Amino acid sequence: MGKVATMFEKALLSLVVIASSGPDCQAEARVALKALAPRVGRYEKLELVIEVEGTYENPFDPGQVDLTVHFKAPDGGRIILPAFFCQDYERRRLSGGRGRTNWFYPSGAGTWRARFAPMQTGTYSATARLKDARGIVESRAVRFECDPSQSRGFLRVGRKDPRFLEFSEGSGFFVIGQNLAFVGEGQYVTLSRAEEIFATLSANGANFLRIWTCCQDWAMAIEARKSAWDRSWGRNAPIVPMPGAEGVSAGRKCVKIEGADGASIAVSPSHAVALKPGTRYVVSGRFTADGPSGLRVDTGRGDRTPFDAARKGQCKEFSREFATGQRDLWLGRMTLSLVGSGTIWLDRLSLKEAAGGPELLWEAEVNRPVRGFYNQIDCFILDKLVEAAERNDIYLMLCVITRDLYMKFLSDDKSPEYQKAIDDVKKLMRYAVARWGYSTHVAAWEYFNEIDPGLPTDRFYAELGRYFEQTDIYRHLRTTSTWHPSAKDLRHPQLDIGQLHHYMRPGTKGDFKDEVAVVLDRKSFLREHAPNKPVLIGEFGLATPKWGLSEHMKQDAVGVHFRSSLWASAFSGASGTAMFWWWDQLDRQNAYHHYRPLAEFLKDVSFSGLADIRAKPSDARIRILGYQGPDRAFLWLSSAEATWHSIVVDKKQPPEIKDAEIEIAGLDPRRYRIRWWDTQKGGTVAERQMILKEGPLRVSAPPFAGDIACKITR
């Protein structure tokens, strides 16, 4: 018997065509591998295309189709890399209205690919291996050369000083960045705007962004329910069990439309459906009616004649073509309405080109499983973001797992639901490694955004950690975040970066009016529980008591709290700057220039191996943060009277501090070069040389109001 097509198959964007599954009907699968270039630089991307003879109900499930590429490295070592299935898209950037709009249109029926970044120079050979229900087959080997490159490699935990990050090639890396979490066409930051922001950040010295790929249906999400029938913030979907479904259709769902004559529902995908101008399309589906005499399908184009219903209990299939105009780029509003009162149950709503091709209304599918299906438009957007990061030397911490698909199943680490969550996340992360793991600019995988810290997640992270050690050949860093600081996660041996989130809010513990004190308090918690790993304040900023955007953010038009927090966190003992959450507000205020003075100061500085500064000011108003070694010191001095609240809310400008002397203990006797740095504009404001013969080094600070930085080097 031939395999009956399922609704899930349509949901795969017509990525595959379902073939007859009887053992007598299937030929042995074959696989062919092609490298798209004969040479590649070390740590750079080599794209490989894999032709597979054979199709699969779910090409994202390695339990159905396990496609890998096996490499023989120049030193004889063996490397196994997962391949991935993807839908390609044509992209157009359209100007007009409130800004640029991105038009994404599927091209082709999807391809199998692998992306490889070789880590050795020399000659490689590669073979694709396909494992499915029919057995194992291999391709012929292909060969390519890996040449030296300027790439510094992948980010790692520092080998000499695990508190900080470094590249594979050994140079240090200090995080200077922020969040840019929500990227989507309905968001403040679209893909086009994100690419512009990447370039602006890079031009101002920032090097790091935290990006969400787990936004459900309001922005980019690899694995999430994207529905044409409702939204995550107001779920009221007209989705019900299919009446009378038996046999292979048992358990199927459909869309229910009921009410008086003319009652209607809108087809409203979270991704606007792109159409090609001057092209014929066909909309189709089937329905069962109880009462209404027909169903009207209105695409806003051409014929609105209703489709007559079949007799009660029977199913009516329908199909209609329409053509787009020469400037017609979007499906727009589409409605389904009753002709006569009663109920209609709708199934298999589809929109394709009349000549055939990928499914365009994949979000209308209600039988598509949420976990295990990877939204291809969002994956394509992430492709482009990773490419933009590479162009602009920005490193990405990708928050991958859609929390609400998993969190409720992690309350009992001995339950089958807990194990199923682990198994499904492994599949998701395998796909992430296969598609984006090649990039040196993917700094870290962040499992969750702010999961419940009380859940027994130790086993979850341990199993995923072991899986990554087998699957992620590039050994990307791993982290997670919780909605309250989690000591157990900071200590977890298979979470490489310790992370917490904090907002300065009225009514909270500590003095929210003093950003320096807040940063130091949060750093102390991080270092108490993660003394020997990189740590980051992954979200930070001013907020209302209920975590909304603080009005003080708007009042602080020049970014006093933002700039001061950057410097305080950079010198606090963390592995990077506090990462501000309110990216749209920073963008509106064009606050990116605040990164440049700090980035320029740190350009030739490494904190690796250094200890906390041992310095005393002659003026009690001065606070000193920094690091020192036997022959160097890096300091940031701030006035206790220069807090953001004092300047922005109380309208008090800090008085200038004059004639201050700083005493630094523990430096070796030698000649030192002392450079004082303007933290607001950048550049050296004073410089001198001193010879230290014995005892502490005493240096005089130039007059400053607010803050100033200092480099002391041999």
pLDDT in tens, 682-714: 999 999 999 999 999 999 999 999 999 999 999
Check whether 354 has a pLDDT greater than 80: yes
Tens of pLDDT, residue by residue over 421-449, are: 999 999 999 999 999 999 999 999 999 99
Tokens 């017609």 belong to residue = 328
Q: Which of 150-154, 553-557, 676-680 has the lowest mean pLDDT?
A: 553-557
Percent of the chain with pLDDT over 70: 95
Mean pLDDT, rounded, for 576-601: 98
pLDDT score of 43: 98
Mean pLDDT, rounded, for 372-377: 97
The letter for the amino acid at 681 is K
Check whether 581 has a pLDDT greater than 90: yes
Residue 40 exposed, middle or buried by CB count within 10 Å (0-12, 13-18, 19+) = buried
Please report which helix (H) or strand (E) contains residue 102, including its range: strand 101-116
Work out the angle between the directed axes of helices 376-392 and 416-436 (0-180°, nearest 10).
50
Q: Which CATH class is domain 7-147?
A: mainly beta
The answer to whether the CB of 241 falls within 8 A of the CB of 253 is yes
pLDDT score of 3: 35
DSSP state, 632? Answer: E
Q: For 622-713, CATH number? A: 2.60.40.1500
Please report which helix (H) or strand (E) contains residue 71, including its range: strand 66-72
Using a cut of 0.85, tell me whether the model's pTM lies above it. Answer: yes
Tens of pLDDT, residue by residue over 8-26, are: 343 343 333 333 333 333 3
Count CA atoms within 13 Å of residue 546 on its CB side: 0
Domain boundaries, the chain: 7-147, 155-223+372-609, 234-364, 622-713
| CA–CA distance, 701 with 659 (Å, rounded to integer) | 7
pLDDT-based confidence at residue 98 (cuts at 50, 70, 90): low
Percent of the chain with pLDDT over 90: 90
Tokens 């092209």 belong to residue = 279
Mean pLDDT, rounded, for 159-181: 97
Tens of pLDDT, residue by residue over 475-515, are: 999 999 999 999 999 999 999 999 999 999 998 766 799 99
Q: For 155-223+372-609, CATH number? A: 3.20.20.80
What are phi and psi for residue 58, nearest 5 degrees?
-135, 95
Q: Specify the CATH superfamily of domain 234-364.
A: Galactose-binding domain-like (2.60.120.260)
pLDDT-based confidence at residue 538 (cuts at 50, 70, 90): very high
Q: Which conformational region is residue 122 in: left (phi greater than 0), alpha (psi within -120 to 50 degrees), or beta?
A: left
pLDDT score of 386: 98
Strands (E), 260-377: 264-267, 280-290, 294-298, 307-308, 316-323, 334-339, 342-353
Strands (E), 165-227: 165-167, 172-173, 177-179, 208-212
Joined together, the tokens standing for residue 379 give 């994956």
Select the more confidently predicted residue: 54 or 582.
582
Q: Which residues of 569-598 are buried (b: 16+ CB within 10 A; e: fewer)?
A: bbbbbbbbbbbbbbbebbbebebbbbbbbb
Tens of pLDDT, residue by residue over 281-330, are: 999 999 999 999 999 999 999 889 999 999 998 999 999 999 999 999 99
pLDDT score of 246: 72
Concatenate the DSSP letters of all residues of 677-697 into one string. E-TTT-SEEEEEEEEE-SS-E
Mean pLDDT, rounded, for 362-377: 96
**Which residues does 380 contact at the CB level (< 8 Å), separation at least 6?**
86, 87, 88, 89, 91, 104
Of the candidates 564, 573, 632, 638, the one whose C-alpha atom is nearest the C-alpha of residue 598 is: 564
What are phi and psi for residue 511, nearest 5 degrees?
-95, 95
Of the candidates 261, 267, 342, the one whose C-alpha atom is nearest the C-alpha of residue 298 is: 267
Same topology for domains 155-223+372-609 and 234-364, yes or no?
no
Q: What is the mean pLDDT of the chain?
A: 93
Residue 117: C-alpha distances to residues 36, 156, 195, 390 (Å): 13, 16, 23, 13
Check whether 135 has a pLDDT greater than 50: yes
